[in-house]
Amino acid sequence: MKTRDWPIRSKLTALVVAPVTALLALWIFATTLTFGPALNLLSARTLLYDLGRLGETVVTELQRERRLSVVQLAGRTELPALAEQRGRTDRAVAELRRRVDGEPLRDAADDLLETRVDKLVSALAALPSGRKFIDDRKVDRAGAIGLYSGMVTAAFQAFAGMATLDDQDLNRQALALTALGRSRELLGQSDALLAGAFTAGRFAEGEHTQLVQAIGNQRWLTESAVADLPESSRGAYQRLTEGEAFTRLRTMQDALVVPNRSGRPAVDAAAWQASQDAVQQQLRDFELSEADALTDRSVPMAVGILVRLAAAGVLGLVAVVVSVLVALRVGRTLVRRLSGVRTAALELAEHRLPDVVTRLRRGEQVDVAREAPPLEYGHDEIGEVGRAFTEVQRTAVQAAVDEVTLRRGLNEVFLNIARRSQSLVHRQLHLLDRMERRSEDPDELAELFQVDHLATRLRRHAEDLVILAGSAPGRGWRNPVAIVDLIRGAISEVEAYERVDITAVQPAGVLGRAVGDVIHLLAELVENATAFSPPDTRVTVSGAQVANGYALEITDQGLGMSAEALETANTRLASSPEFDPAQSARLGLFVVARLAARHGVRVRLRSSSAEGGVTAVVLVPGDLITAEPPAGPDPATLGVASADPSRRPARTARRGTVTRPRTRPPTTPSVSTAPPAPAGAPAAATLPAGGRGVGSATADEPDDELDGLPRRVRRRTPTAQPRSTVAETPSPRSPEEVRQVMAALQAGTARGRATATPTASTAPAVPPAPTDPPTTPEPPTATERDA
């Protein structure tokens, strides 16, 4: 039994129950020990009246019957008095048997007394057969005396068995009265011997010796019994023995014990009989009176014992009750105080400390003294534990404050580094745009595009730090953007963009405040799809309107994920947990979860049963979805019309799978369209009307050019005209040519302002402004400024 795992209430209960139970057991034991003697004293009256009085009557009748039986055996004829005496004896024996078989006597008697009573009843059962032997003269006088003396002896043994009281004085007096009865029995035996000798005229052989022994034993028992009587009883017995009857009887006994050669009794029969009967009666009365006095003494003593027992029992019970009450009160107080400490500890560990950490992460100020109030539990050991725990919880709360402050500082450091990285990346993108515009070598331009693509991905990774730090990226749009442009912008930020196919996309738009985050979210998911699928497979992106928003599906053909891994990832995506640096391998999931939680977007991964990969389902809520914005204006009117502020973002869709031709002003001689870019190289951008491209405009090309996403197409410079390091002398131009060039410059500028990023646009109309904190503006693309 491991008690160390018991609750404190059970331990205190066991601690209280054990001594209280021991005290209660001792109280019950002491009460029983005291109650037993009291019951014995009270039962002494029952034993005296049901066994003592009736037994003494039976003994007296047996003594009388014994004397008459000896007389009849000494004579020749039957005595009528013997028959009458037998009837009196039978009635006394019957009454004794009735009382002995009763429940009161049996309940009051102990085992020893019951055994001796049973022996007495068995001895009395032999009385009828003994009488028959006497009537048939099959026994002599000595045999008859032995028969009745055995019954009387059994009676006196039963009387001695009653002297089992717990009071020693009462027991000694009871045994003294029993000894007096035995001495009286010896006197009766002497009378029976003399009655037979008187009737026969002489003693039988051995009777005189038996008579002398009986007289000697009777005197010795009398002296011993009187010595054990109380002083008052000894005085009464002394006065009794000084009477005339006792004096004559003692004188005749002295004469009888003298050696007698004649064989005849030395005393007169009538004088002996008179003295013997008087002494027998006086001794019997003395014994009965002393027995009554003994009973009268036992009852008050028993009552006194019961009174003391009651007092001791009540006091003991009160002590037990007080002990239980004190134990319960102290135990309840200890349990309440310890439970208070336990509750405070659990409250701190499960609620208060997590709440403090949550509030600190939200940026709230926390008062340590208020959040960790002192626990007052007295000045004992429990109070010391409470004060120690107060210090512990204050230290824990302060540690949480310091930890969150440290994490906030680290987030600020990450955010500062990320902002600086963003600024550098933006400047790098500006520089790359300028270099791309000046570059005429196709191979060099392809490498510049690769660097441009790497810088775009660097910008996204810098934005990851900003997002994980709890801030928002710098890019933002005021006007809605088409879904297809968002998808293209996300694909342009992925390394393996050439493996991504855009399938069926229903027209729709996304509000400007969520454009940057949705592009980033889709880019993370598309990059995961390309990273965890074989390089020779394709990744498809599709979108469709649903009942509660717009659903985008990104499907790869990789090995897929187990059910447990999908469940874990979906839980993380749905709950937007705090970033754990130990889970840096799942950085993209943390970023996606943060972005999705910011705008209420739901992202869920599921197995793609058709292709064996994973499908990421992005559900953009309906409050972010709007109608698809219209495309930009006709390039022919760019010189006179203002830029449309709802143009689709050019920077986010710098690359695509579809290329567009560039056009020149109508006055410039047309040449053939540039050939497509080599496989694996990014497409060079083209610019509608007014650009510096080498392509020519056709009547059906404007529709392809007005989708808001100018395409870069890798250009091929004339090989026959190598670049010269020496400045050439400019040829003179006619006024018409100068006017056409200026008109094209004006149209290209307006076009660039309309299609540039909101921070770079200077169109007369209200330009789109970022909704997030301003950052270094992105430069327009080469095609936007190529005019």
| Distant-in-sequence, close-in-space partners of 155: CB < 8 Å, separation ≥ 6 | 55, 58, 59, 62, 120
**pLDDT surpassing 90 at residue 387:** no
**pLDDT surpassing 70 at residue 735:** no
Q: What is the pLDDT of residues 329-348, one digit of tens each?
A: 887 888 887 888 778 778 87
Chain mean position to CA 246: 91
* pLDDT value, residue 308: 75
* pLDDT value, residue 646: 34
Would you place residue 733 in the very low, low, confident or very high pLDDT band (cuts 50, 70, 90)?
A: low
Three-class SS state of 386: helix
Would you place residue 605 in the very low, low, confident or very high pLDDT band (cuts 50, 70, 90)?
A: very high
Q: What is the pLDDT of residues 568-601, one digit of tens each?
A: 888 888 876 666 565 555 677 778 888 888 889 9
Better pLDDT: 677 or 146 = 146
Strands 500-505 vs 539-546: parallel, antiparallel or unpaired:
parallel
What CA–CA distance (Å, rounded) separates 187 from 181?
Answer: 10
Q: What is the pLDDT of residues 56-71, one digit of tens each?
A: 889 999 999 999 999 9
- Mean of the per-residue pLDDT values of the chain: 74
**pLDDT surpassing 90 at residue 620:** yes
Better pLDDT: 5 or 709 = 5
* pLDDT value, residue 704: 38
Q: Please give the share of the chain, as a percent, with pLDDT higher than 90.
A: 13
Better pLDDT: 593 or 648 = 593
User: Can you give the C-alpha Rg of the chain in angstroms?
Assistant: 65
**What would the mean pLDDT of 99-121 be, rounded to a whole number?**
82
**pLDDT surpassing 60 at residue 718:** no
Which residue bears the tokens 């690769």?
450
What CA–CA distance (Å, rounded) separates 696 from 685?
Answer: 15
Which residue bears the tokens 């409470």?
386
Least confident of 122-126, 252-256, 340-344, 776-780: 776-780
* DSSP states of 119-152: HHHHHHHTHHHHHHHHHTT-S-HHHHHHHHHHHH
Q: What is the pLDDT of residues 256-304, one digit of tens each?
A: 888 877 788 888 888 998 998 899 899 888 888 888 887 777 667 767 7
User: Which strand (E) or helix (H) includes residue 394?
Assistant: helix 381-438
Q: What is the pLDDT of residues 621-634, one digit of tens each?
A: 999 999 988 865 43
Q: What is the pLDDT of residues 664-707, one digit of tens each?
A: 333 333 333 333 333 333 333 332 323 333 233 333 333 333 33
* pLDDT value, residue 743: 67
**pLDDT surpassing 90 at residue 91:** yes
* pLDDT value, residue 165: 64
Q: Please give the share of the chain, as a percent, with pLDDT higher than 70.
A: 73
What CA–CA distance (Å, rounded) separates 691 from 710?
Answer: 12
**pLDDT surpassing 60 at residue 649:** no
